[in-house]
Amino acid sequence: MTQNQFGETHQNMHTGTVPPMMNHGGHELFDVHEVLSGTIASLNQAMILRPHVKDPELLDILDRQYRFTLDEYNITVECFKTGMDPSHPTGSYQMKQGNDFVYGMKQSQPKKPMQNASEINDEMISGFLLGSAKANASAKTMAALETTNPVVRRVLADSVPNCIEMAYELSIYQNKHHYYQVPQLAQQDMQALLNAYASSVGQPGMPNHTVQ
């Protein structure tokens, strides 16, 4: 490194005059790589599973989520490379499912690993897709917390609710078909937990700090 190069680096550290494409911290680079790799894995998985889907409703969910996720992937790559606003803002994923869950447990066969690839069915496929959506939500949240570039941070943060919405859509689909059952506590226990906290009212007495 020449003296002039050192001087430029030293100045950038103190003035913040880093070019947008270089405005990334070390943790950010690794975490966004993790996000993008995970998104590619999710897209590839959906592409592999698609021919095995039998239910038209699940196929519609898979296709809509694939198209939306691919667009988010592209704008994340774009802003990650340039450090600047992507060609269009992050969209808002809209699911088609209602939000009513069926509560309670019904007798069903115990689950076990497949013995043969031919056993794959819509229950398994929707479960794979749900796992991907949950993993992406976690990865993007962790990456956003470590991201220093303001544009990349915003794109990641805006994407998290979309992952949550996709996971919610898939969990409702699974619940409707009894793939994912939701037990409830006894009413007395539920009521006890619901009433375990109360709102804080009035003005809290904050300590007075005298600035000297």
Predicted local distance difference test score (pLDDT) of residue 66: 98
Quote the CA–CA distance of 181 and 172 in Å, as a whole number: 10
Three-state SS letters, the chain? CCHHHHHHHHHHHHHCCCCHHHCCCHHHHHHHHHHHHHHHHHHHHHHHHHHHCCCHHHHHHHHHHHHHHHHHHHHHHHHHHHCCCCCCCCCCCCCCCCCCCCEECCCCCCCCCCCCHHHCCHHHHHHHHHHHHHHHHHHHHHHHHHCCCHHHHHHHHHHHHHHHHHHHHHHHHHHHCCCCCECCCCHHHHHHHHCCCCCCCCCCCCCCCCCC
Quote the CA–CA distance of 47 and 125 in Å, as a whole number: 11
Which tops the pLDDT comparison, 33 or 211?
33
Tell me, rounded to whole angstroms, the distance of Cα 164 from its chain centroid.
6
Nearest to residue 177, comparing CAs of 132, 121, 94?
A: 121
Quote the CA–CA distance of 144 and 82 in Å, as a whole number: 17
Nearest to residue 98, comparing CAs of 165, 174, 183, 169?
A: 169
Residue 11 has pLDDT above 70, yes or no: no
Quote the CA–CA distance of 65 and 45 in Å, as a whole number: 12
Predicted local distance difference test score (pLDDT) of residue 12: 44
Predicted local distance difference test score (pLDDT) of residue 16: 55
Predicted local distance difference test score (pLDDT) of residue 15: 43
**3-class SS at 104?**
strand
Q: For the residues 29-51, what does the mean pLDDT come to?
A: 96
**3-class SS at 98?**
coil
Predicted local distance difference test score (pLDDT) of residue 6: 38
Q: Where is average pLDDT lowest: 34-43, 159-168, 199-208?
A: 199-208
Question: Which token pair is 173?
Answer: 């689909």
Which tops the pLDDT comparison, 62 or 95?
62
Predicted local distance difference test score (pLDDT) of residue 201: 81
Q: Where is average pLDDT lowest: 86-90, 100-104, 169-173?
A: 100-104
pLDDT tier at 100, thresholds 50, 70, 90 = confident
Contact 145, 65 (CB under 8 A): no
Predicted local distance difference test score (pLDDT) of residue 29: 87
The per-residue pLDDT for range 43-94, each reduced to its tens digit, is: 999 999 999 999 999 999 999 999 999 999 999 999 999 988 999 999 999 9
Predicted local distance difference test score (pLDDT) of residue 97: 75
Q: For the residues 109-130, what does the mean pLDDT come to?
A: 93
Domains of the chain: 21-95+120-178 (1.20.1260.10)
